[in-house]
Amino acid sequence: MRRLNKRKALNLVKELDAFPKIPESYIETSSSGGTVSIIAFTTIAVLSVMEFFVYQDTWMRYDYEVDKDFASKLRINLDITVSMKCHYIGADVLDLAETMVAASEGLKYEPTVFELSSRQKMWQRTLQKIRRKVQEEHSLQDLLFKSAFRGSPTALPPREDKLSFPHDACRIHGHLYVNKVAGNFHITVGKAIPHPRGHAHMAALVSHDVYNFSHRIDHYSFGEPIPGIINPLDGTEKIAIDHNQMFQYFITIVPTKLNTYKFTAETHQYSVTERERVIDHAAGSHGVSGIFMKYDISSLMVTVTEQHMPLGQFLVRLCGIIGGIFSTTGMLHGFVGFLVDVVCCRFKLGAYKPKAVTALDGHINNHSVPILDDCEH
């Protein structure tokens, strides 16, 4: 009784077989089918390898939300060289709340030479070229995010030659912590002094003949510095055409959280608009000579997350490639074979060519009725 039940169960399973086996004696192979099979297998192999590379790759997803952190401090990192001696200029920050942050709290003044060496000029040209490419193609920014902390530092390399002429410039570098509100970082003539209504600079004792606000921005960023990230102002160089000239940079800062498979960091991206003009009170162009970087902070925060294709999705796509190519090539092979049969039958070509009947004496009877395949029934 148990054996009978097992046989019934096996027979039921066999009837549900969706992949019936065809005896090899019923299978007919052809050269055209072999050619199509080779093309199909080659296409499957190529597409499978390409799909594997896509599976290995990652991409960056951008999410936006309101920035709720207004209590923390904002860090400003800078490395700027001005073509004036250090005792002539001063740098500080004045924010929207009339809070002044003196440069002595985190910045260093270092006498240097404004002219770069040959290796430094090559570094600057390379940095400017990369920065322009990043601005033109946003996908390069994603690549920089992925390679952050692994890339080379973007700091200006030291001089390889010895100075043969005196210092004519001042390098201001370091970092400052300011309130997370709009503000104005500026470098102008004279050291900054506190004032009940804001602040002032002791510029009265400096002659206008020494004014020269030609400058080079080797680095300017906000937040914790991340090696390998290229900022919009890195490598910028401006040459003053007049002693009394104002350079203005209008900066919009966007708080950014960076989450990759290698690290997690909180930093700030920014966009910048530049403007420069000569101060001429007689012509109505008023202002103060110097370098002014006015920044504002966006209320939105960007979260950049590195994503990867799930294994299940990769397997589904791989099965789709294999099954789709097999089905498509099979249908195309059958359709082309059908068209060939129709053409050959219509024009009596190949296997459909008429065959003459041979007489009993071995001679061909040209007057006999030809025997045709039944393609014209």
Q: With left for phi above 0 and alpha for psi between -120 and 50, is residue 87 left, alpha or beta? A: alpha
CA–CA separation, 47 and 322 (whole Å):
9
Q: What is the pLDDT of residue 377?
A: 46
Q: What is the pLDDT of residue 252?
A: 94
- The radius of gyration of the chain from alpha carbons, rounded to an integer in Å, stands at 39
Q: What is the pLDDT of residue 133?
A: 77
Element (H, E) at 34: helix 31-56
Q: Which residue blocks in 137-188 are alpha helix, DSSP H? A: 138-146
User: What are the backbone dihedrals phi and psi of residue 307, each rounded to the nearest 5 degrees, phi first?
Assistant: -120, 160
CA–CA separation, 147 and 134 (whole Å):
14
DSSP letter assigned to residue 89: E
Neighbouring C-beta atoms of residue 163, cutoff 10 Å: 11
Q: What is the pLDDT of residue 362?
A: 52
Amino acid making up residue 281: H
Q: Are 78 and 220 in contact (CB under 8 A)?
A: yes
Q: What is the pLDDT of residue 357?
A: 55
Residue in the block written with tokens 């004519």 = 168
How does DSSP assign 288-343, residue by residue? Answer: -SEEEEEEEE-SEEEEEEEEE--HHHHHHHHHHHHHHHHHHHHHHHHHHHHHHHHH
CA–CA separation, 346 and 353 (whole Å):
10
Neighbouring C-beta atoms of residue 220, cutoff 10 Å: 21
Reported pTM = 0.70
Q: What is the pLDDT of residue 198?
A: 63
Q: What is the pLDDT of residue 143?
A: 63
Q: What is the pLDDT of residue 47?
A: 92
Long-range contacts for 72-75 (Cβ within 8 Å, ≥24 apart)?
72/180, 73/177, 73/178, 73/179, 73/180, 74/177, 74/178, 74/179, 74/180, 74/222, 74/223, 74/253, 74/268, 74/297, 75/175, 75/176, 75/177, 75/222, 75/223, 75/224
Q: Which residue blocks in 137-294 are alpha helix, DSSP H? A: 138-146
Q: Are 80 and 216 in contact (CB under 8 A)?
A: yes
Buried b (16+ CB within 10 A) or exposed e, 26-60: eeeeeeeeeebeeebeeebeebeeebeeebeeeeb
Q: What is the pLDDT of residue 369?
A: 47
Q: Please report, in tens digits, the pLDDT of each residue of the chain (377 residues total).
A: 566 577 777 777 677 666 666 666 556 667 777 888 888 899 999 999 999 998 888 888 889 999 888 788 899 999 999 999 988 898 888 888 766 666 656 889 999 998 888 888 888 888 888 888 777 766 556 666 666 545 555 677 777 777 777 888 999 999 989 888 899 999 998 877 766 666 777 776 778 788 899 999 999 999 888 877 888 898 899 999 988 899 999 999 999 888 888 778 888 889 999 999 998 888 888 888 899 999 999 989 999 888 888 999 999 999 999 989 988 888 888 888 788 777 777 777 766 677 655 554 555 555 444 544 455 44
